[in-house]
Structure 1
């Protein structure tokens, strides 16, 4: 019985390793090569006048490179847009950054909202609620403070809304580490795990996502879901905003635009808190998806496969064991190739490929440990604020949504 149990466990481990290798190959192929551009955007109709856009950017503190990132929004080729920044304290150092922008770009419609009113447990959403009344245009773009964009960004991300069946447009993002070793490790979390997993899900037909890097929707759609008040107590506010829109029967579009974001956490502790917060947020909105994430950690499975090969070779010379050892050896080699290929397709250039290649095993193993840690715990820390993970307030069908519908 013991030998049978061990053999069953070995076959189960071989199956899991094969699944991880297959996923790694799909993830590598799903990623566009760095710098790849499309020949055209099917949503953009040059004969149509471009609708005016209000960009809402909630701010909190003077982050590294904040001026440079915000300045990319001032250099858009879109003919008519408003930049609306919001802070919750008159002493917020981000105010000075916005004043610099206003001085540097006097021809751009830049407005600053300073309002300390709190509307719910999510302070970012409170900020958005305070800003929303100042938005003057029919298209709303919500974008996090730490992203940088190309000059055609506003034109491209707002174009899909010309289709009445589209309710919200969102963007993936590419990370760059700012300030040392741990930011580099954090950038790999986004570039080589988060973004590929989204692209694999998207290729498989999933559209249940929404990312704070960019959310674009019509003012009328925002009003139909009850405004930002519908998500004022939600942890995953960006996801649930898009989910509310989908509940109206409207589609989500993942834009081909990939924006840039900074990873600035200088210490292991700060990076751990941020990434476990992300993983617990995934757990809160998609428990089956979170449970299946273990298959996306390629390096631990490759290492397990290599150890299994050594065990099978040393245990016995039986033909079945030798066949399994050879099959597992080929699987392990394929896993290594797929993981290196994913790293190559995610790298910004050849220098970053070689520089960060030694970090790949550390990144994957750390991610597996974080996944285990994120499976438990009922709170996360976000900008010094403790928020509950399993918060059901503000989701479609909740009391907030019923109130917004007049029920």
Structure 2
């Protein structure tokens, strides 16, 4: 019902969605063979689907919305076509609906059984019905493909090796599943020596798994266990494709049976790894910032303050903490003001204050005053003065205010905005203190 409702909404969004076989096709199908037909044997065929830029086709199970392709074959007597074999799709979430799609050209493979008495040329014809969509509109289309397949010997199409490599391989041993509450656990035989990245289970069986919900995986010896959010109790075998996240994928057909408990959860330590990478990236970005024209002059103030610290470790540490606090407060205040301006309807960006010529003039005068201060012409009691928390806080806040243009390329998120500059400043100051 959810899929029908989603398709109905997509069709109503565009008048073109009600037309079949129009002259403005957004998907170009083509039928090719790996080589000539050999009587009594099989030959591999490929249905090449090439969508226009911005359009996508659907996997054999389209997910929450969409429609799988159907093929009506017109074959010579004695010839037969096997099931369609799809490559691994990609995931596309629109309005909370999970879709399994192909955003670029893809090849659907099928094996053709050649009649034992085949001679000359075999006319292969097929009519395809499929759905092609953008993120906003869907159009059902119908296409016809034709191929006059020669019988005998000849060269083969090397592209089929690449296309076959993208099709999931069937596992050699049987998989089992068990239902527990609102979870479906599938035990997939997989030697422990086989590496797994970030796996994902694409269900072929429909109305069994909630597509948009999170999936969990764990390793128990030579078994990979997928814990999937249950949509409806399965009545027979559960088929799907497990993408191992390392360029390999396996075709799975699970039957009711035992599923091992425990094991190591895959990705359990991933949040810590991501946090560590983000922290190291923030420090690296801060170090780069400190070498850029926006920030580098401010370091002279800290160097002078450290030089005047007289070796008092406690005072130097308090000054460093004050600088860090000033950078944090200054950056947070700028972010809060920016959000308030945007909430008022203005299209302000990061470093909005430097878009005002008056602010630039004030900063230019301040930079001149700091330069004269460093030359000894006079002494500012806060900036560049003696080592103390108040002076460190003011210098950190000034660094946050002045460094916003250089910080823009590094701002990937609000948390990065809050941590990037102060973390790097604290690192440099603490390194200078030998802490």
Pairwise TM-score range, normalised by the shorter structure: under 0.3
Q: TM-score, normalised by structure 2?
A: 0.24
Which of the two has greater helix per residue?
1
TM-score (structure 1 length as normaliser): 0.25
